[in-house]
Structure 1
Amino acid sequence: MTYSIIGTGNIGKALARQFARSGTAIGVANTRGPESIASMAQEYGNKVVPLTLQEALKADVIILAVPFWAHRDVAKAAPTWQGKVVIDATNAYGVPLSDLDNLPSSAIVAKALPGAHLVKAFNHLPAGVLAQDPATAGGRRVIFLSSDDEGATATVAALVEKLGYAPVSLGKIAQGGQLVQARDKSWAPLIFQDLFKKEK
């Protein structure tokens, strides 16, 4: 299984740090090219590999860590999304509901990526918290997942575990997934909830 992060803002960097910490290889790309990522890769070690956007789009699992509307540019960059697992880590805070056809923002992202298996994840924590060690004496930090595809949810849950977090599924995007979808100028109730799951 190969992984890539598209986006090198605060969320993309925080996730790259977690991949490096867990010893899991991750390709990282942005629209500015691999040279702009070299210093980050140097800081995080050889598990973080700078890629072109086209190279990053070849991964089995792609994490979208870009500003919300930038997903449209990423969508156009791939010849096909068929069979790809895409993790939507974006937030549509401040985007009018009319611009989203009153749908959850992840439903809009999914429409732009025909054939992809989309999972909402890694969007509910601020980057500074996401960058911290997910394990504490009390347990593991929770990452919420929502998707209309059970197989993709299982794939992403396994990745979340590999990175040291505790996955918690909220069910389908239009149902439990609404708990982590920003709407217009309001944050959903589970966004910013820094929860831990106790080890048994």
Structure 2
Amino acid sequence: MDFGTIGAGTVAQAIAAHLAAAGNQVTISNSRGPETLREVAARLGPSVSAGTVEQAASADMVFLAVRWPEVREALSGLPAWSGRILVDTTNVLPNAPALEELGVETASEFVADLAPGARVVKAFNTLYAEYIAADPRHAQGRQLLFYAGDDASAKDDFRAVAERIGFAAVDAGPLREGGRLMQVGGGVLSALHALKQD
């Protein structure tokens, strides 16, 4: 399985670093083009390359890690998803239009609408960036990583990847119910930083 990131900020780089450390091929991308990411890719390791958004989105598992106002543009004009996994790490900002105005109840339902054919998993949005970037393995246990989704096999694949890079993955349920629990501004799992004792 290969991986891509749409977005190359703190969260995307943290995820890419964990994936690369586990020996995976990762393509990172941003809206400004791969030439702006050569140094970042080199710093993250030899298995990380800079590519276009289209190249990153063609990976088996793609992490959407852009700011909420950029979600629509980031997902527009991409090739058909054809069942590939899209991991939505985004959070709705407090000053963004209400989700009801977008015709959905959770942010990831909106993302799923923008990426027809993708198997969407919500993850990493409940953790502050420093907890994502740090080694998830601690003497006291492993960092909990909540995830949600409607496709059981996509969730199984995501869980396997998350566990392989050191997180203790916890299924929060379907996109709607789990998404509500994980959403900023009321979700009980949002900003819940805890460890699982193994």
TM-score by length of 1: 0.92
The residue aligned with 1:181 is 183
AA of the residue aligned to 1:108: F
Whether the 8 Å CA contact 1:68–1:92 is kept in 2: the answer is: yes
Alpha-carbon spacing, 1:37–1:187, altered in 2? closer, same or farther (3 Å): farther
Q: Does 1:195 align with 2:194?
A: yes
The residue aligned with 1:120 is 122
Matches within 5 A, 1:102-141: 102-141=104-143
**How many Å separate the matches in 2 of 1:112 and 1:176?**
19
Runs of 5+ consecutive residues of structure 1 not aligned to the other structure: none
What's the CA shift for 1:99? 2.8
The residue aligned with 2:90 is 90
SS of structure 1 residue aligned to 2:143: strand
Aligned-residue sequence identity (percent) comes to 34
TM-score by length of 2: 0.93
**How many Å separate the matches in 2 of 1:156 and 1:102?**
24
**How many Å separate the matches in 1 of 2:99 and 2:56?**
31
Whether the 8 Å CA contact 1:88–1:120 is kept in 2: the answer is: yes
Matches within 5 A, 1:62-101: 62-94=62-94, 95=96, 96-101=98-103
For this pair of structures, how many residues does the alignment match? 196
Deviation larger for 118-127 or 45-54:
45-54
Whether the 8 Å CA contact 2:141–2:197 is kept in 1: the answer is: yes
Whether the 8 Å CA contact 1:87–1:119 is kept in 2: the answer is: yes
**How many Å separate the matches in 1 of 2:105 and 2:39?**
38
Runs of 4+ with deviation above 3 angstroms: none
Alpha-carbon spacing, 1:104–1:11, altered in 2? closer, same or farther (3 Å): same
What's the CA shift for 1:102? 4.8
Whether the 8 Å CA contact 1:22–1:164 is kept in 2: the answer is: no
Question: After superposition, what is the alpha-carbon deviation per residue over 1:84-133, rounded to whole angstroms, capped at 9, x for unaligned?
Answer: 11000000122223333251010011011111100000111111111000
SS of structure 2 residue aligned to 1:174: helix
Whether the 8 Å CA contact 2:31–2:74 is kept in 1: the answer is: no
Matches within 5 A, 1:19-30: 19-30=19-30
Whether the 8 Å CA contact 2:54–2:79 is kept in 1: the answer is: no
**How many Å separate the matches in 2 of 1:121 and 1:44?**
21
RMSD: 1.4
Alpha-carbon spacing, 1:18–1:187, altered in 2? closer, same or farther (3 Å): farther
What's the CA shift for 1:187? 4.5
SS of structure 1 residue aligned to 2:76: helix
What's the CA shift for 1:24? 2.2
SS of structure 2 residue aligned to 1:23: coil
